[in-house]
Structure 1
Amino acid sequence: MTTTVSTSDARPASSREVKVQQKAGARALKDVMAPVAGRLALGRVLAVISAVLAVVPYVALVHIGDLLLDAARAGSAVDGEAVDRWLRILIGAFALRLLIYFVALLITHLADITLGNVIRLRLVRRLSRVHLVWFTSTNSGRVRKALQDDIGTIHHLIAHQPVDGTNAMVMPIALMAYAFVIDWRLGLLAVATLPLYVAAMALSMRGMGEKTVQMDTRLSAVSARMVEFVTGITVVKAFGRVGRAHRSYQESADEFQEFYYNWVRPLIRVSSLGNSLLAVPLILLINIGGGAWLVHRGLVTTADVLATSLIALLIPYAIETLMNSTWAQQMAGASALRIVDLLATPVLDDAGPARTPASHGVVFDGVSYSYGSGDDAVLALDGVSLELTPGTVTALVGPSGSGKSTIATLLARFDDPRAGTITIGGVPVPEVADLYSRVGFVLQDPQLLNISLRDNIALGRPGATDDEVRAAARAAQVLDEIEELPDGFDTVYGADTGLSGGQAQRIAIARAILVDAPILILDEATALTDPESQHQIQRALSDLARGRTVLLIAHRPEVIRGADQIVLVDGGRVIATGTHEQLVTHPGYAHLWRNAHAHPDTETEGVR
């Protein structure tokens, strides 16, 4: 999977683009959350009930305070029964509130787990049906971010925000309403600094939505550059390109750092001023100082002042929770948009009822194919027609970028042609039943997984017996080398030991042998291996190809000299078709042959 990053990914969006993206994010978030919308609504309802119940302890506290103060002034005994009753109400309401709050959080957390599973299943099902070429043109950081980071970002919005955010809104309103019920002057003291704080925060929050979207875009670019750098570190080091590859990542990180500092520096100054207006000492000074004066005037009681002062102290907590919820909403919108975009990735068309081919002959009829779409489309194949006769070897030759690999990938249905048809035994490829039991391939990159060598070989036939796996390894000329490993076939690729390129390629050949597909695609299977490995791989490929319909891709004509049919491809078109003897005088083929001998690689016998 490639990890190229478009320069447009990091381009700062305009104000209009940001607003459009915000609206799209809100719609995407609604779509993503739809499967658990009912549970989240229930969580919010329970949060409202819990928030309203938060008033009851304060009511009980005021009554208990009044009972104690009245008894003290009268010099009489405290009404213990009344105090006990209010204490029971206080404790009961507090416990009930916590229980309801816990149940609400439990519901939303279970909803979050369910939603995460639903999203991952939807993504896996979608990505399992997309065109396989999509994986070579799509940024792997984008997929990783959606499956891991973006689902994690939505977690707070699902598991916490419905309860914490609702509670942070309703509880202060309910408590402030009660503060005004106690005494309107104490209510005003409780919110005395709030208007100034709101003004300061409104100033600091200007453009927050746009900045959040820009920050998320820049972070995505940094993440993609990092994945690109780490994934390709072996290649860039081998060719001395570490500085350039690292610089690309460093530039993205520096751009993000500069953007973030320019945004945050003034924001911190204003928000610091605003937060100082909600500092606990200031709130207590205003409420207790003003309350003491009102008590002195006989307008309120000490219990009233104590209750409203405690209520005022809850305001900073509520505001902080609301701010966090707003931030989470912004980030979750961008994350949901990326998830929805992935879920909308075009998939291979359903071809209807599967059909069984009558033979294993392959026919390309007027096949055209383009990479991309619209004005950016690049024509890769233009009216390609050719026939692969059952049991023969057809070799594709031509300069790099001529369309050879595209022809092969279309036969394996990595994508569908834009025009024309490809048939196997008279059946269009999209309609072939169990296509990958009929079409096998060995590519330049063997693509082994971090599982045991036995499981790597049996990947196409999970139910294969150990004897069948061993037989495939023997035919691929790799059995002895596997058995010499400490754990043999139980060796985990990439963890227990490393394998040479030739060994890995022969394991991939063993996999193809075990599948025993009647049609075989060989795409430069020896291109990246040493001379000794090339010889062993060529022997294994010759055995594998025997009796099959083979499509062979090679840059070196000598590799395919013994092919039954050679197809010369250039510029996405079939230029000539014939045997080596028939094409040797063709100018294009002769040019390739001369270049091959002018820059000889290790001599290898052809696939026969």
Structure 2
Amino acid sequence: MPHGPMGKGGMGQAVEKPRNFNITMKKLLEYCRRYLPAIIFALAAAATGTVLQIIGPDRLKVLTNEIMKGLPAMINGKPVLGSIDMNAVSKIGWMLVALYVLSFLLNYIQSLIMATVTQAISKKMRSDISKKMNRLPLRYFDTVSFGDVLSRVTNDVDAIGQTLNQSVGTLITAITMLSGSLIMMFYNSWILALTAVFSSVTGFGFMMFIIKGSQKYFKEQQMELGHINGLVEEVYTGHNVVKVYNGSREAKEAFENSNRSLYKSAWKSQFLSGLMMPLMSFIGNFGYVAVCVVGAALAMEGRITFGVIVAFMMYIRLFTQPLSQIAQAMNNLQRTAAASERVFEFLDEPELENESGKNKVLADVKGTVEFKNVRFGYTPDKPVINNFSARIEAGQKVAIVGPTGAGKTTMVNLLMRFYETDGGEITIDGVPVDQVPRESVHAQFGMVLQDTWMFEGTIRDNIIYSKKGVTNEAVINACKTVGLHHFIMTLPNGYDTILNDKASLSEGQKQLITIARAMIQNAPLLILDEATSSVDTRTERMVQESMDQLTKGRTSFVIAHRLSTIKNADLILVMKDGDIIESGNHEELLLKNGFYAQLYNSQFEAA
């Protein structure tokens, strides 16, 4: 249904308010509270598996020392061969195998649980966004581009799922690895431990600096991604208009500007995050060198064994690797926070009034409609409807005419409660529409619009859309009534023909399908909004005949610019500047020689 001011396209994307990282992550944690037990179990498994990995090098130290006993030793200037306790070596070896196998199994369990949980969270988030769309007022979609909404459903939700899956477990594992390695290093040699820590502190400081500087770029990246999606959706849907008006250059410039902004923010965020891996690799290699030099000096003095140096070589890797993992995980969490902020902003948008407490419903509707001093404006300072009053009896065909911007479509939107009035009252069979749920109001209407909306599915599915228990006979009768049956039967699969990009239907044929759809709905009230404006004269006559069949026995509201199509209306309401300035049938209004007569004669002269 056409509504309100022009929706904001991708070129006019508003800058979103920044939100604190901690607040956003706390909100995401609250959102995931249903899955917290599984997450905690997975993280505990990851931490336990990491502890087992940390124990490994210490056992390897003992194994090395046992093997060193078998090397030749100088006693009184003569080399003497030692003996190796193979039982001890075998026991330590099997213990290492058991430790690493159990660690692998625990990390596998953690990965499996986190992959399942994060996908469940993504699924729930997409479902909540879908439900939220149905609870949002049309005012929201008047001011936000559809491409930006789609980006929140796809890009942002995917970013949350992927980074949670990859980062949370990695973060816990890395922190455990870092802490455990530090403890074990001090346990074995405090001098070598300080050497290793000192070589890594510098890298950690750089890492924190990079994390702090990269957050804003991840936020900008997600915003620009939504912006460019909105722009692409806007240009693609209006592709023909862009071509006809030679707007390709402007569209390309707008896209290039948006793409350039996305490139800058993405480049900065990825560049800063990409610095961490080579930085931490350098720190790790520097740590190896420092431990080897200091460890060799200590071994020469007999203060440590060779096994301690071997263990430290592994602990250095276990100590420095988590630093880079923590850095990468924190960067991913920054992206998660940016994406979560956009999703939660959407989920926090003001919704339509909760009408679960309204028990009154419209039943056995005859179709009497009355507007009583209705006032409305899309914004408070710009009223569109000033003081609209009219009464339409059941079964009447009412035409609403007037110049563009007079408020014709707005009145129909108010009647169907797509918007709420600022004042006055609208009743159906004497029942104010604001006293019954919106679903009950919508159920009383069938609609045929200028835009012939079709979805990918069979012709039959398009005709019986959302209507339950419709028989094939009813579908065929509706199509025969509108003169569409013969054409459908010429198609290869008849009523089972799939409507998609490959199905070539004219605008008139699509319009006849929408009229058949309205017939199947069999609602007591009918909206016809510019239903023949996009078809040729011959097709218009065919569509008009079908609509005449459709309006029989129903209260009908016809919005039309072609006044020749509404000459047989029982009542014509002439609107201008949000008010009814004339009313009556076609002949009466012509005799008045007023505004309607001027509109009609101007079209006749133009014809």
Give me the TM-score of the superposition, normalised by structure 2. Answer: 0.90
Q: 1:203: Cα distance to partner? A: 4.0
Alpha-carbon distance between aligned partners in 1 of 2:576 and 2:213, rounded to the nearest angstrom = 53
Alignment of 1:323 with 2:327, yes or no, is: yes
1:137 CA drift (Å):
4.8
Map 1:125-164 → 2, pairs under 5 A: 125-132=131-138, 134-135=140-141, 137-164=143-170
Find the counterpart in structure 1 of residue 352 from structure 2.
347
After superposition, the Cα gap between the structure-2 partners of 1:257 and 1:460, relative to the gap in structure 1 and judged at 3 Å, is: closer
1:231-283 CA-to-partner distances (Å, cap 9, x unmatched) read 22133223332222332222211233345557777x58975873463254x44
Give the counterpart of 2:453 among 447, 451, 463: 447
Gaps of 5+ in 1: 601-608
Matches within 5 A, 1:45-444: 45-72=44-71, 73=73, 75-132=81-138, 134-135=140-141, 137-260=143-266, 267=272, 274-275=279-280, 277-278=282-283, 280=285, 282-345=286-349, 346-350=351-355, 352-357=358-363, 359-372=366-379, 378-430=382-434, 431=436, 434-444=440-450
Kept in 1: contact 2:370–2:389 (CA 8 A): yes
**AA in 2 matched with 1:242:** S
Cα distance in 2 between the residues matched to 1:304 and 1:417: 80
Q: CA deviation at 1:496?
A: 4.0
Counterparts of 1:361 and 1:111, CA distance in 2: 53
Change (3 A) 1:565 1:533: same
3-state secondary structure, aligned to 2:572 = strand
Cα distance change of structure 1 residues 597 and 34 upon mapping to structure 2, 3 Å threshold: farther
Using the TM superposition, name which of 57-66 and 270-279 deviates more.
Answer: 270-279
3-state secondary structure, aligned to 2:457: coil
Aligned equivalents of 1:155, 1:324: Cα separation in 2: 16
Q: Does the 8 A contact of 1:200 with 1:273 survive in 2?
A: no
Stretch moving more, 579-588 or 389-398: 579-588
Cα deviation, 1:60-83, whole Å, max 9, x if unaligned, reads 111111111123347343212222
Distance change in 2, residues 1:255/1:158 (3 Å): closer
1:35 CA displacement: 2.8
Change (3 A) 1:31 1:568: farther
* Displacement of 1:132: 4.9
Maintained 8 Å contact 2:395/2:555: yes
Q: Tell me the equivalent position of 1:606.
A: none
Aligned residue identity for 2:451: D
Identity %: 24
For residues 200 and 366 of structure 2, what CA distance do their matches in structure 1 show?
80
Inter-partner Cα distance in structure 2 for 1:551 and 1:301: 95
Cα separation, partners in 2 of 1:455 and 1:462, compared to 1, 3 Å: farther
1:511 offset after TM fit, Å? 0.3
Q: 1:369·1:381 contact (CA, 8 Å) conserved in 2?
A: yes
SS in 2 for 1:395: strand
Shift of 1:24: 5.0
Partner amino acid for 1:286? Answer: A
How far residue 416 of structure 1 moved from its aligned partner, in angstroms, is 2.6
For residues 386 and 82 of structure 2, what CA distance do their matches in structure 1 show? Answer: 104
Deviation at 1:199, TM superposition (A): 3.1
Q: CA 1:315–1:229 in structure 2 vs 1: closer, same or farther (change >3 Å)? A: farther
Specify the code of the residue in structure 1 equivalent to 2:412.
Answer: A
Distance in 1 of aligned mates of 2:353 and 2:323? 49
Query: Which residue of 2 is the match for residue 40 of structure 1?
Result: 39
Per-residue CA deviations over 1:471-516 (Å, capped at 9, x if unaligned) read 1111122111121122221111124412111111110001001111
Which structure 2 residues correspond to residues 454-473 of structure 1 after superposition, within 5 A? Answer: 454-473=460-479
> Contact 1:33/1:115 (CA < 8 Å) preserved in 2?
yes
Match of 2:602 in 1: 595
Deviations 1:514-540 (A, max 9, x none): 111111000000001122221111110
Note the C-alpha offset of 1:541.
0.4
Distance 1:30 1:238 in 2: 50
- Residue deviations 1:543-570 (CA, integer Å, cap 9, x gap): 1111210000011222212211111112
Q: Kindly indicate whether the alpha-carbon contact (under 8 Å) linking 2:280 and 2:321 is maintained by their aligned counterparts in 1.
A: no
Shift of 1:343: 2.1
- 1:101 Cα deviation (Å)? 1.8
Alignment-mate amino acid for residue 581 of structure 1:
E
Output the amino acid matched with 1:83: V
Distance in 2, Cα, partners of 1:261 & 1:109: 28
Q: CA-to-partner distance for each residue in 1:264-306, whole Å, 9 max, x for gaps?
A: 77x58975873463254x4433333332232223222222111
Alpha-carbon offset, residue 344 of structure 1? 2.8
Q: Which amino acid aligns with 1:347?
A: L
Deviates more, 1:150-159 or 1:302-311: 150-159
The equivalent residue for 1:605 is none
- Counterpart CA distance in 1 for 2:242 and 2:605 is 28
- The answer to whether the 8 A contact 2:544-2:565 is kept is no
Letter in 2 for 1:298: G
Quick one: which amino acid aligns to residue 298 of structure 2?
Answer: L
Asked if the contact 2:464/2:470 (under 8 Å) is kept, the reply is yes
The answer as to whether partners of 2:284 and 2:316 remain within 8 angstroms in 1 is no
**TM-score of the aligned structures, taking structure 1 as reference length:** 0.90
Cα shift readout 1:431-489 (whole Å, capped 9, x = no counterpart): 16744442111000121111111100010424212111111111122111121122221
Query: What aligned pairs does 1:442-591 form with structure 2 within 5 A after superposition?
Result: 442-584=448-590, 585=592, 587-591=594-598
The alignment partner of 2:253 has SS state of: helix
**Between 422-431 and 127-136, the greater mean CA deviation after superposition:** 127-136
Q: Residue type matched to 1:57 in 2? A: G
Name the SS for the 1:520 alignment partner.
strand
CA–CA distance in structure 2, aligned partners of residues 402 and 384 of structure 1: 12
Partner amino acid, structure 1, of 2:479 = A
Go from structure 1 to structure 2 and tell me whether the alpha carbon gap of 1:231 and 1:127 turns closer, same or farther (over 3 Å shift).
Answer: same
Query: Per-residue deviation at 1:182?
Result: 1.0
The answer to whether the 8 A contact 2:574-2:580 is kept is yes
Contact in 2 for aligned 1:157/1:328 (Cα 8 Å): yes
Q: CA deviation at 1:328?
A: 1.9
Instruction: Show structure 2 runs of 5+ residues with no match.
Output: 74-79
Q: Is the 1:161–1:325 contact (alpha carbons within 8 Å) kept by the matching residues of 2?
A: yes
